[in-house]
Amino acid sequence: MTSLNQMEFEDKPPNPFLVFVLLSLHGWKGNQRDQRSNKTRKLERYTRWSRIGIYTIFLVCGQSAATLLGRLYYDKGGNSKWMATLVQSAGFPILLPFLWFFSQPTKSSSKQPNFLTFSFICFAFGLLLIGDNLMYSYGLLYLPVSTYSLLCATQLAFNALLSFFLNAQKFTPYILNSLVLLTVSASLLAFNSESDTTTHSSKGKYVIGFLCTLGASATYSLYLCLLQVCFEKVIKRETFSIVLDMQIYPSIVASCGCVVGLFGSGEWRGLRDEMRGYEEGRVSYFMTLVWTAVTWQVSSVGLLGLIFEVSSLFSNVISTLALPVVPILAVIFFHDKMNGVKAMALVLALWGFVSYIYQNYLDESKAKANQQSADNVSTV
């Protein structure tokens, strides 16, 4: 009898109301978890894009101001290439308080590189910065600032090519279109040398400035790609302090190397006469160098922050946002000529920039759609 009742109890269907209540509670808890995860994801996305926005402002404003101040140094009587190179890295002391503020207690972790590895990375990057900054100094000395800034746009093309080999960057039709447009833009400036050399420098110096700026753009692109590799493969720490570390320590090495170059070349002997002969006076000479150093550091922090948050190629694209700013300001303050060829080069460079931005928008949309699909699958 007991076994018969037990069989009847086991064969009895479950209460539909009870099943409905249990399923409703389970669904309510699942919805609550999904809502919390969505809010957390949105907050993280907004925070990340806020940081990207701040880094973008640092990069664009700092780069534009530093380029114009560097041109001002030469136009008002400055002539030392090593001094112009030194100020591009010597402003690192202003970052030391921020490094102390954002530093975190050191924890033993396998993710942290050892001291020798980190020292070698900083030393190598410092040497790379010396050569890169020196070539930029020659370019800024021998070229009009509008031509110089447009030539710097070629670093986006160099960066895309190097990212393909070093960072596994995929080429798409829009990225290829961007590379072609930027290459044509630089070629137009090369054929535009006649109009610039008549009022600024000789033909030979123009060619030197042109080649140095192209070489500096390629070197800088290599520097950015290697930085991304270090962030992803070697350092593996997601803190703002590591961004400051990778700016301060290579800058120390670069500054020491520039001081050696300044004394080794003998340019230090002419600095006193250079200061006395500066058109705006000694105070203006000193302040021009100081603010050039400060603005370069602001620009570099923004650049490294974008590499840390996104990629080296994205940071290079954002740096081209200064393209329409610097040439226009150069025409206003330094009376550079903006002829038809240079205007066409500017339009092509901006077209290349927009082409890459659109590709980045497509990538973001695809990643967002994939994330939503994954969330829907996990919910089911």
- The residues near 321 (Cβ < 8 Å, ≥ 6 apart) are 56, 59, 60, 353
pTM: 0.76
pLDDT digits (tens, 9 = 90+) for 192-240: 655 555 455 678 888 999 999 999 999 988 998 898 888 888 887 767 7
Residue 239 DSSP label: S
pLDDT at 376: 62
Record the tokens describing residue 349, joined without a space. Answer: 């460079």
**Tokens (6 digits) for 283:** 């105070």
Parse the chain into domains and list their residue ranges. Answer: 57-103+112-375
User: pLDDT tens digits, the chain, 380 residues: what are they?
Assistant: 445 455 444 555 555 555 555 555 555 555 555 556 666 777 777 888 888 889 989 998 998 899 889 989 998 999 899 999 999 999 999 999 888 887 765 554 545 678 898 899 999 999 999 999 999 999 988 988 777 877 887 887 788 788 888 877 777 888 788 778 877 776 776 666 555 554 556 788 889 999 999 999 999 889 988 988 888 888 877 677 888 888 899 999 999 999 999 999 999 999 999 999 999 899 999 999 999 999 999 999 898 888 888 777 778 778 776 666 777 777 777 777 777 877 887 788 788 878 877 887 787 778 777 767 766 665 55
Which residues have CB under 8 Å from 258's CB, separation 6+? Answer: 82, 85, 86, 89, 90, 130, 133
Helices (H), 93-202: 96-102, 115-142, 145-151, 154-166, 173-191, 193-197
- What the block records as the tokens of 245 is 């570390």
